[in-house]
């Protein structure tokens, strides 16, 4: 991770929480929003299964407004489906015929807020372990400054998003085409290297894995922690996530 003053390769770094985004935001062309458990994994699953568009909204009030207009709306808080909405944030909710070709409005505890935090500051793409390889390959081809923006949990760092950021950073640094110098990126990379052979075991005591386990969502956790299930790269166009043609 040496970065001599003369190194003009593009950089890839990790912002460990959306609360720190203002410290980074002016320096990056591509922002990879990560919420492994479960928003960005569910978004990838949705596009993999034929959803056409997703409108990420930050508040339940916005979600209700869309609902009144007749949209298909999903809302999750604290890992549970919000009362009055037909589904939440489980990747398996997006594998049904009714969502094929649909536009879905989605509001989640952290992930959709983070997407909206990043909106308007660069090209915003969706990252997860599920689309890791395809995303890393695309990022490598762009040769731009890349920030992995972790959603965390209620403004705090979480392990799974940091590990995913570390995986992307590790893959891009291995090409020799990128540089990285922030301590957050070094920490993310080392976390990934410790976790990569057994994400499920490594995250056993992590806060959101415990929370989802309490809600009997182990199946979701296993799905979200499985790398390379899909090649989709969702990205933000205006207020809407669309599938990148790559
Ligand atoms: C979030 O956006 O905070 C998460 O995806 C929560 C969840 O697991 O549903």
Give the percent of the chain with pLDDT over 70. Answer: 98
Q: Is residue 39 within 6 Å of ligand 1 at its C-beta? A: yes
| CA atoms of 65 and 76, how far apart (whole Å) | 16
Ligand 1 atom 6 nearest Cα: 79
Closest ligand 1 atom to residue 39 Cα is: 5
Q: How far is the CA of 66 from the centre of ligand 1 (A)?
A: 20
With cut-offs at 50, 70 and 90, classify the pLDDT of residue 2. Answer: low
Q: How far is the CA of 34 from the centre of ligand 1 (A)?
A: 11
- Report the pLDDT value the prediction gives residue 88, as an integer from 0 to 100: 92
Q: How far is the CA of 208 from the CAs of 38, 84, 204, in angstroms? A: 9, 24, 10
Evaluate the omega torsion of the peptide bond into residue 228 and state whether it is cis, within 30 degrees of 0: no
With cut-offs at 50, 70 and 90, classify the pLDDT of residue 3. Answer: low
pLDDT tens-digit profile of 59-89? 999 999 999 999 999 999 999 999 999 899 9
Q: How far is the CA of 29 from the centre of ligand 1 (A)?
A: 26
| CA atoms of 246 and 233, how far apart (whole Å) | 8
Pocket probe for ligand 1: among 44, 76, 224, the residue whose CB has the most ligand atoms within 8 Å is 76
With cut-offs at 50, 70 and 90, classify the pLDDT of residue 131. Answer: very high
Evaluate the omega torsion of the peptide bond into residue 236 and state whether it is cis, within 30 degrees of 0: no
Place of tokens 């790559």: 246
Burial class (CB in 10 A: 0-12, 13-18, 19+), 124: buried
| CA atoms of 161 and 173, how far apart (whole Å) | 18
pLDDT over threshold 60, residue 4: no
pLDDT over threshold 80, residue 111: yes
- Report the pLDDT value the prediction gives residue 63, as an integer from 0 to 100: 97
Locate the domains of the chain by residue range: 12-237
Give the percent of the chain with pLDDT over 90. Answer: 85
Highest mean pLDDT among 202-206, 216-220, 232-236: 232-236
Identify the CATH number of the domain defined by range 12-237.
3.90.1560.10
pLDDT tens-digit profile of 35-66? 999 999 999 999 999 999 999 999 999 999 99
Q: How far is the CA of 88 from the centre of ligand 1 (A)?
A: 9
| CA atoms of 173 and 120, how far apart (whole Å) | 27
Q: How far is the CA of 40 from the centre of ligand 1 (A)?
A: 9
With cut-offs at 50, 70 and 90, classify the pLDDT of residue 209. Answer: confident
| Arithmetic mean of pLDDT, 130-143 | 97
């Amino acid at each position: 991770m040496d970065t001599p003053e003369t190194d003009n390769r593009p950089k890839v770094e990790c912002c460990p929480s959306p609360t720190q985004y203002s410290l980074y935001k002016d320096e990056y062309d591509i922002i990879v929003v990560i919420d492994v458990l479960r928003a960005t994994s569910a978004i990838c699953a949705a596009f993999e299964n034929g959803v056409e568009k997703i409108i990420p909204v930050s508040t339940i009030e916005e979600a209700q407004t869309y609902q009144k207009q007749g949209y298909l709306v999903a809302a999750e808080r604290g890992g549970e489906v919000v009362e009055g909405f037909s589904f939440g944030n489980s990747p398996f909710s997006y594998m049904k015929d009714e969502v094929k070709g649909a536009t879905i409005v989605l509001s989640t505890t952290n992930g959709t807020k983070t997407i909206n935090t990043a909106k308007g500051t660069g090209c915003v793409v969706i990252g997860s372990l599920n689309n890791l390889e395809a995303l890393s390959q695309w990022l490598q081809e762009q040769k731009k400054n890349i920030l992995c923006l972790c959603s965390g949990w209620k403004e705090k760092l979480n392990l799974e998003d940091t590990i995913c950021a570390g995986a992307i950073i590790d893959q891009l640094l291995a090409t020799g085409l990128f540089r990285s110098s922030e301590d957050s990126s070094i920490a993310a990379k080392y976390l990934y290297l410790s976790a990569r052979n057994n994400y499920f075991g490594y995250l056993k005591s992590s806060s959101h894995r415990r929370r989802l386990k309490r809600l009997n969502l182990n199946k979701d956790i296993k799905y979200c922690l499985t790398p390379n299930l899909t090649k989709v790269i969702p990205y933000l166009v205006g207020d809407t996530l669309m599938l990148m043609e790559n």
